[in-house]
Chain A
């Protein structure tokens, strides 16, 4: 069984400041980890994923995340926030390395607010 905890339902940062969105997971098997972004009235778009290769994963739009097994964390960062980054961000885990039958388990989401 898997679960995901995202700390902070809302995070506010100034434009140009560091973005840090926190995600902790639990999984009974080696996990696959994902970050998705959702803009208003749109579906989810994959930002990046960890699949047991490099622990530092780079994604689209300047985002990256680091897998830390000892901390069971997969925090999302971006060095400099842009107004267009304002959106809902979801961390997700899949422990299913086989057939996909378990789908993805998502966190509750973090609403990122960018202050001008």
Chain B
């Protein structure tokens, strides 16, 4: 079956522009996670959705970051006024339910480069 897909696979943007990153989870998975992978910080957890709801947004790096999920499926991560330190690979994962006992399946990521 289809895995987690993310688009675009690569995005180059100029500093100050807004970007939207998309994640399509595995069909039927109610939980969705966003992570950021960068050379300096490693893998960081950003936000978790159970259905369309994100109970805790404190993991987002700044108020320029926002995320939403609609219809219990597709999620978008939006970065406003991008900065060079936002350059990273953004990974999305989904699982059947929330909670550590459920395996998280990762997408291939979106590589964001801010110039």
Contacts and interface: CB of A to CB of B under 8 A. Distances in A.
A83 B93 CA distance: 28
A50 B32 CA distance: 21
A100 B31 contact: yes
Interface residues of B, number: 29
Contacts of A41: 108
Contact of A101 (B43, B46, B98): B98
B48 to A, nearest CB: 5
A46 B101 CA distance: 13
A51 interface: yes
Interface string A42-71: 111110010100000000000000000000
Contacts of A97: 99-101
Interface in B38-87: 42-43, 45-46, 48, 50, 55-56, 59
A46 B95 contact: no
Most buried by A among B46, B91, B101, B105: B101
Contacts of B48: 100-103
Interface of B: 4, 31, 33, 35, 42-43, 45-46, 48, 50, 55-56, 59, 91, 93, 95, 97-109
